[in-house]
Structures are given as structure tokens and as C-alpha cells.
Chains A and B, each alone.
Chain A
């Protein structure tokens, strides 16, 4: 099941990054987000899986597609990556591969191995258990998100509304 999901997930993620046109890129991202939602479900994060579909695939991606359509971006010139950029990107990839290797080989043996199931309580990942942590331990962070969203609304309105003459 893991590989059934992860292989297409990686492919679609590459699609996001490599696609010529923004529309294709956005659609790849939508598929990748759906696959992620399924993965969340497999990891007993049922509420998060639902939110992923509603918020990401539903709201954020529609916003992206809306802007792409609004700007009518079919005729963008073919991009050229400058030579220096490739080198930087290559170096970055090597460093990150090292991090990945380090985490995979050294950092994670504490985790249960293949086949060893960690039993979870039935309520793990339910709406109640999420709400319980959200409104007690993370009450401050929850309040801060309201400030964050308000700030973002004001910022977006300031930047996008018509320029007064």
C-alpha cells in the first residue's frame, strides 16, 4: 500500500516542479495533495485527511488556479535556468541527500520496524482527540492563528484592491 501511494506521489511531485505550464503543474499538485490525504488516512489522521482535501485541494488550489486563469498565462516564454543555478541546486540536492541518508540510517531505528504494529487507541486521530489538544495545550497557538488570518486578509486586500486615484 505504501509503495502504491508513494511512487505516484513522488512522480506527481516531480510533475509539479518540472511541468512546462503552470496549469499542469497545479493539477499535478492537486493529485499529489489527494494522495497525501490518503496517506494521512493510513496514518490514522482521519480529521487531518479530511481537512487536507477541503482546505488544500478545495480552497488553496482553487485560489491558485483562479490566479493562473486570471493572469492568462499560456504564453510565457520557455524558461532558461542559468548555469550557476544548476550548480547551486546540485550542491543543495547532495547535501539534502546526505541529510536524508543520515535520518534514514541513523536517526530512525528507534521506530518500530516493518511488521511491528504500534497499537493506537481507537480515538487516535478523531475529531475529539484533535480538538482536545487544540483547545487545551495549543490554545495560544490557536488564538494566534486568528491574528495571522486577520493580518493576511488585511495584507491581501491592501495589495490587491484597486489603486485609488
Chain B
């Protein structure tokens, strides 16, 4: 069904990864930073699936399965941490979290 080579998908994936990483670096709202990280993981998923298609190797798709598990686990713990911070400080802005000035 694909009419373009799988490599284009890889390039698209790396582009999305870059957008996500830039979001992490530039944004100060912690929830958005976290969503940018999710975007990075999804970009990697696209790269994996494209390589799997090109190499005829199902392993690439299995990787995506694991990446999703990792993303779910990170989401659970990460949001719990954000909740804990919010309870104590009432903010999700990185500038108001003292230790987060990097």
C-alpha cells in the first residue's frame, strides 16, 4: 500500500523526534514537557515500524510493543511525581520549581 520508500518514514520520524526534543528544551510547563517526551517516544516508534517494514523483520514491531509499555510505565510514575510536586507547591511551571532551572 505504501507508495513512498520506507526511508521517508524514517526521516519523518527523526523530524518528529527533533520537534519533541525541542519542546522539552524550550517549554516550561511540565505537563507539556512530558507530552513532548511522549512525542519523542512515538517518533521512535515510527522509525521502528518503518525499519521493520523495510527489513521484513517483525522484531521492529515487537520493539514498539515494548516502547508502549515503557511509555505507559513512565506516564504513571511521571504523573504521580507531578501530582506530588503540585500538592506541595501548587504549580506545574518549571520556573517556579526551584531545582528545575537547568
List residues of chain A with CB under 8 Å of any chain B CB: 1-2, 6, 9-10, 13-14, 16-17, 19, 22, 25-26, 29, 32-33, 36, 39-40, 42-45, 47-48, 51-52, 55-56, 59-60, 63-64, 67-68, 70-71, 73, 76-77, 79-81, 85-86, 88-89, 92-93, 96-97, 99-100, 103-104, 108, 111-118, 120, 124-125, 129-130, 132-134, 137-138, 141, 145, 148-149, 151-153, 155-157, 159-160
Contact = CB atoms under 8 A, between A and B. Distances in A.
Q: Which 9 A-B pairs have the closest CB atoms?
A: A17-B23, A152-B73, A108-B7, A159-B80, A79-B28, A160-B80, A156-B80, A111-B7, A156-B76
Binding site secondary structure of chain B:
helix
B97 interface: no
A134 B14 CA distance: 26
A51 B26 contact: no
B4 A112 contact: no
Binding site secondary structure of chain A:
helix
Contact of A71 (B12, B70, B86): B86
Contact of B95 (A25, A63, A68, A79): A79
A112 B54 contact: yes
Contact of B32 (A10, A16, A55, A155): A16
Interface string B4-45: 111111111011111111110111110110111011001001
Given A26-B35, A64-B75, A92 B62 contact: no
Contacts, number: 242
B40 to A, nearest CB: 10
Interface of B: 1-12, 14-23, 25-29, 31-32, 34-36, 38-39, 42, 45-46, 49-50, 52-54, 56, 58-59, 61-62, 64-66, 68-77, 79-84, 86, 91-93, 95
Given A16-B32, A104-B11, 4 more contacts: A32-B39, A43-B52, A141-B66, A153-B76
Given A76-B93, A148-B70, A13 B10 contact: no
A134 B63 CA distance: 9
